Amino acid sequence: MLICGSILTILAGCMSGITSSEWARIGLPLGMALMTVFFAMIFVPAWMGCDDTFVALP
């Protein structure tokens, strides 16, 4: 079951003609792939011992 978004999201989906099942077929796998890539970019260097990956802002 998909959770409906905000009113703007629902209106944008209606205006573009995209159904929730079409969005789920495209958006969910794409979102999972992007989350996996960002997870690897953030946490894998720390596990490998590269602690100087991120620079602390003053």
Q: What is the SS3 string spanning 8-50?
A: HHHHHHHHHCCCHHHHHHHHHHHHHHHHHHHHHHHHHHHHCCC
| Tens-digit pLDDT profile for residues 3-57 | 666 787 778 778 888 877 887 888 889 999 999 998 888 887 777 776 655 555 4
The span from the CA of 29 to the CA of 46, in Å, is 26
Query: Does the global pTM surpass 0.75?
Result: no
The span from the CA of 56 to the CA of 6, in Å, is 35
Reduced to 3 states (helix: H, G, I; strand: E, B; else coil), residue 52 is helix
